A and B are shown apart, each in its own frame.
Chain A
Amino acid sequence: LAKTTQPISMDSYEGQEVNITCSHNNIATNDYITWYQQFPSQGPRFIIQGYKTKVTNEVASLFIPADRKSSTLSLPRVSLSDTAVYYCLVTFNNAGNMLTFGGGTRLMVKP
């Protein structure tokens, strides 16, 4: 599976839009991009998954350019409760198995 690279940490303020970019240069044709969120003392929680272009749900948007070598998770108007670690993963097909987590991005939202 393709290795992912994402920033170790990011700071933001309440009400701002946050964009976390993930690099996955070796992504394969059958791979999907999946993002999980993890709050302290909790297990990770699925946020969004996509293959190409743009995917949006009630929580976030995921932008994937045509070459699919990177992706950007966009969190609109963050609040303090969005402070968490965000993991970018490449998953084979759209199966939920074979999750390989990297170090993630620690997002700190300040008042």
Chain B
Amino acid sequence: EAGVAQSPRYKIIEKRQSVAFWCNPISGHATLYWYQQILGQGPKLLIQFQNNGVVDDSQLPKDRFSAERLKGVDSTLKIQPAKLEDSAVYLCASLGDSTYEQYFGPGTRLTVT
């Protein structure tokens, strides 16, 4: 089966600009996650969706980050405006209904200058 797709793979922007990342989960997976992984650290959960509803966004910096999953399939994570400390890899993962394995995409590496 096809894995989790993410685009773009790399993005370089200046601080105060905006950026958006796209994720297409594995077909049929109802749960979708966005993680932020800063260099040298483990991934940190930003937001979790169940179909098109938000389950947990307690660690999402809502003053600048937003995410949506309008049709319960693919999802977009946006940062506006970006700060230097947002430089990280943004990982998307999905989970099927009858499994406990999260499947991760390759991530988008964001560099804010």
Is there an interface contact between B43 and A91, defined as CB atoms closer than 8 Å? no
Is there an interface contact between B91 and A43, defined as CB atoms closer than 8 Å? yes
Q: How far is the CA of A100 from the CA of B56 in the complex (A)?
A: 13
Most buried by A among B33, B41, B104: B104
Task: Kindly state whether residue B31 has any CB partner on chain A within 8 Å.
Answer: yes
User: 21 A-B pairs, CB-CB below 8 angstroms?
Assistant: A41-B109, A42-B106, A43-B93, A43-B104, A43-B107, A44-B43, A45-B104, A46-B102, A46-B103, A87-B42, A91-B100, A94-B100, A96-B99, A97-B48, A97-B95, A97-B102, A98-B45, A100-B45, A101-B44, A103-B42, A104-B42
The contact size tier of chain A is 20 to 34
Is there an interface contact between B31 and A44, defined as CB atoms closer than 8 Å? no
Is there an interface contact between A44 and B95, defined as CB atoms closer than 8 Å? no
Task: Kindly state whether residue B25 has any CB partner on chain A within 8 Å.
Answer: no
* Smallest CB gap from A45: residue in B: B104
Question: How many chain B residues touch A (Cβ–Cβ < 8 Å)?
Answer: 25
Mark B76-113 against chain A: 1 for CB-CB distance below 8 A, else 0: 00000000000000010101000111111111010000
Interface residues of B in 4-27 (CB under 8 A from A): 4
- Measured CB to CB, the residues of A under 8 A from B are 32, 34, 41-46, 49, 87, 91, 94-104
B9: shortest Cβ distance to chain A, in Å?
9
Q: How far is the CA of A91 from the CA of B101 in the complex (A)?
A: 11
A-chain residues with CB within 8 Å of residue B91 when the two chains form the complex: 43-44
Q: How far is the CA of A87 from the CA of B31 in the complex (A)?
A: 21
Is there an interface contact between A49 and B107, defined as CB atoms closer than 8 Å? no
Most buried by B among A91, A95, A96, A101: A96
